[in-house]
Amino acid sequence: MIVALKIEKVREIVKKAKKKGKLIGFIPTMGALHEGHLSLVRRARKECDFVVVSIFVNPTQFGAGEDLHTYPRDFKKDKNLLKKEGVNLVFYPKVSTMYPKGFSTYVEEVSLSKYLCGKFRPGHFRGVCTVVAKLFNVVNPDIAYFGQKDFQQAQIIKRMVRDLNFPIKIRVLPIIREKDGLAMSSRNSYLSPYQRKVAPYLYKSLILAKELILKKRYSPSKIRKEVKKVIKENIPYAKIDYVEIVSPTTLRRIKKIDKGEILVAVAVYLGKARLIDNILVRVR
Amino acid sequence: MIVALKIEKVREIVKKAKKKGKLIGFIPTMGALHEGHLSLVRRARKECDFVVVSIFVNPTQFGAGEDLHTYPRDFKKDKNLLKKEGVNLVFYPKVSTMYPKGFSTYVEEVSLSKYLCGKFRPGHFRGVCTVVAKLFNVVNPDIAYFGQKDFQQAQIIKRMVRDLNFPIKIRVLPIIREKDGLAMSSRNSYLSPYQRKVAPYLYKSLILAKELILKKRYSPSKIRKEVKKVIKENIPYAKIDYVEIVSPTTLRRIKKIDKGEILVAVAVYLGKARLIDNILVRVR
């Protein structure tokens, strides 16, 4: 496994692999890797001939007062994990490599980004789109992998790829959960033992939402209230950013439960950890 | 020469050429081709093995009330010109091909775009960056060619290519002028015979600016006044958007004439034709 810090090095190595006809798989990450990331790596290993992982805590996707500086970083551990998974190339750039002096170009998705997390984290998805566009141009992959935990992010990236004509396939893979249901996240490390113990109620509240949706007897607003109740009653001091029931394609609120796919998404602060989770429900 | 209307067709043809080791040159245009465009094509023919020209009047770079609908279009004539020049592939997409339903992703340069034309055409450079990023991803060229007449555009594209890591070299080639000095532009066709007769005073005013700069005795604001005087006295009813004396790298106004490169740039309406021109002056 090669670790490259420089853009030119990545280009050179990928070019060589492409010349040999290899299919390039790519997983962009911010490090602090867990089984969610590794599930993406494993799928890439199955589908592609050459797997690239980037590890970069991207400053432009953090807002003022967010956790840029405390975000967990452990490159040695990440490197060992990726080596075991048979990754071919790790791109581990410095901030100054990705954002040189006078950097002034951004990629912005202006429709899907307005909803859900976009309302609470202004500029977040602009930072995500910008860094992912950059990484796509550096790595030049055939297939890129994203986790469904960041459902909105994955939808926005798919839109960006279509709109800007990136010649890249996007795969979105299922959420990986702890045994008790908590969605894996690098930010779970922020949780106190008590917070960690009650955090699975987020997922439990989504399961409830799914059950209520499938009963087809309740309005979205009624279901949102019930979800909030579960969270508030079981996670003391939780600060709810949102509980939303939306169309998975437009991310807009739905007015009633109809046939088709419905996304239930939540974002909740447990102390300083902002946790997100979601569930996709198919109504027949 | 192949004419492709579809993105997939372009990808397929360029992929084949690349497999044969051919270097791809690309000239994005809005058609209504003149000797300025053709000078770019000729340079591409010299430097590259396979030359792609796109012809697309890009709606997202026109503001409300601008000349999107009257912009000159003559595909047959353009096609014949490009054929004569030995172009290999013309990409001639429909608006719905470039901007499908629900299009919502834009590329925006936020620093250089604030000055010169950016002040008078809000959203213009966002449209330019977006369509050029798209065309780069469709055509996947090694070298792309731009004219210095659109000096600010060329600087912004260079910045975008650096910031978003497009693996593309940008060449900016000199302004091509009519015998009387008028910079060639598709928009010159809007000029009445009288307007056409006085239009070369734009270039004459730039020559004056250059002379005054090289004397090193006048302030930029004094020189700007003199340039405006020449325009107003010789082009009746001209509406001046700006006459600016700026750093060619930051596009910001300079306060005094120092050693190095200085850009003088003008934008003037002659009737409904908004003409731009510029001159680069090296002070020793």
pLDDT in tens, B150-162: 999 999 999 999 9
pLDDT in tens, B9-44: 999 999 999 999 999 999 999 999 999 999 999 999
Residue B184: predicted pLDDT = 98
pLDDT in tens, B88-147: 999 999 999 999 999 999 999 999 999 999 999 999 999 999 999 999 999 999 999 999
Q: Mutate one of A105, A142, A159, A170 to test the B interface: name it (highest B CB count within 10 A).
A: A105
Element holding B269 (H helix, E strand): strand B260-270
Q: What residues of A are annotated to the active site?
A: 37
Chain A residue set in contact with B, beta carbons under 8 Å = 7, 11, 100, 102-112, 129-130, 133-134, 137-138, 140, 159-160, 162-167
Residue B125: predicted pLDDT = 98
User: How many contacts, defined by CB atoms under 8 Å, are there between A and B?
Assistant: 80
The single residue listed with the structure tokens 């044969």 is B20
Q: CA-nearest residue of chain B to A131?
A: B164
Residue B238 has φ and ψ, to the nearest 5°, of -65, 140
Predicted-complex ipTM score: 0.97
pLDDT in tens, B192-237: 999 999 999 999 999 999 999 999 999 999 999 999 999 999 999 9
Domains by residue range for chain B, with CATH: 2-173 (3.40.50.620), 186-278 (3.30.1300.10)
Q: Tell me the two tokens of residue A96.
A: 């100054």
> Terminus-to-terminus CA distance in chain A, angstroms?
47
pLDDT band for A8, please (50, 70, 90 cuts): very high
Query: Which chain A residues touch B167 with a CB distance below 8 Å?
Result: 11, 137, 140
Q: To the nearest whole angstrom, how far is the Cα of A216 from the nearest Cα of chain B?
A: 30
The single residue listed with the structure tokens 């000199």 is B174
Inter-chain touch A163–B7, beta carbons under 8 Å: no
Residue A32: predicted pLDDT = 98
Element holding B231 (H helix, E strand): helix B220-234
> What letter does residue B2 receive in the DSSP assignment?
E
For residue B31, give the 3-state DSSP assignment.
coil
What's the whole-number mean pLDDT along residues A11-17?
Answer: 98
pLDDT in tens, A113-169: 999 999 999 999 999 999 999 999 999 999 999 999 999 999 999 999 999 999 999
Query: Which chain B residues touch A167 with a CB distance below 8 Å?
Result: 11, 137, 140
Element holding B54 (H helix, E strand): strand B50-55
pLDDT in tens, A68-112: 999 999 999 999 999 999 999 999 999 999 999 999 999 999 999
Query: Which chain B residues touch A109 with a CB distance below 8 Å?
Result: 104-105
On the CB side of A52, CA atoms within 13 Å amount to 31
Q: Which amino acid is at A59?
A: P
Residue B212: predicted pLDDT = 98
From A104, A110, A138, residue closest to B106, measured CB to CB? A110
Helix pair angle (A151-163, A124-139), 10° resolution: 60
Q: Tell me the two tokens of residue B19.
A: 């497999």
CA B28, CA A202: separation in Å to the nearest integer? 51
Is the CB of residue A241 less than 8 Å from the CB of residue A226? Answer: no
Helix pair angle (B201-215, B220-234), 10° resolution: 160
Q: To the nearest whole angstrom, how far is the Cα of A246 from the nearest Cα of chain B?
A: 17
Q: List the one residue out of A48, A38, A55, A39 whose CA is nearest residue A14.
A: A48
For residue B124, give the 3-state DSSP assignment.
helix
pLDDT in tens, B184-193: 999 999 999 9
Element holding B145 (H helix, E strand): strand B143-147
Q: Tell me the two tokens of residue A47.
A: 């589908």
* Distances A49 to A41, A142, A168 between C-alpha atoms, Å: 12, 10, 15
Q: Tell me the two tokens of residue A131.
A: 């860094």
> What letter does residue A31 receive in the DSSP assignment?
S
Q: To the nearest whole angstrom, how far is the Cα of B162 from the nearest Cα of chain A?
A: 9
Burial class (CB in 10 A: 0-12, 13-18, 19+), B3: middle
Q: CA-nearest residue of chain B to A12?
A: B167
Residue A13: predicted pLDDT = 98
Inter-chain touch B167–A103, beta carbons under 8 Å: no
Residue A281: predicted pLDDT = 98
Residue A157: predicted pLDDT = 98
Residue B37 annotated among the catalytic residues of the structure: yes
Query: Which chain B residues touch A112 with a CB distance below 8 Å?
Result: 104
From A105, A130, A164, residue closest to B137, measured CB to CB? A164
Inter-chain touch A105–B107, beta carbons under 8 Å: yes
Catalytic residue of the set B34, B37, B69, B124: B37
Q: To the nearest whole angstrom, how far is the Cα of B225 from the nearest Cα of chain A?
A: 31
Q: CA-nearest residue of chain A to B250?
A: A102
Residue B34 has φ and ψ, to the nearest 5°, of -135, -175
Residue A277 has φ and ψ, to the nearest 5°, of -160, 160
Is the CB of residue B236 less than 8 Å from the CB of residue B86? Answer: no
* Average pLDDT of every residue of chain A: 98
Query: Which chain B residues touch A7 with a CB distance below 8 Å?
Result: 165
Inter-chain touch B137–A100, beta carbons under 8 Å: no
pLDDT band for A48, please (50, 70, 90 cuts): very high
Q: To the nearest whole angstrom, how far is the Cα of B24 from the nearest Cα of chain A?
A: 16
Residue count (chain A): 284
Question: pTM higher than 0.90, yes or no?
Answer: yes
Q: Which residues contact A226 (CB under 8 A, 6 or more apart)?
A: A208, A209, A212, A218
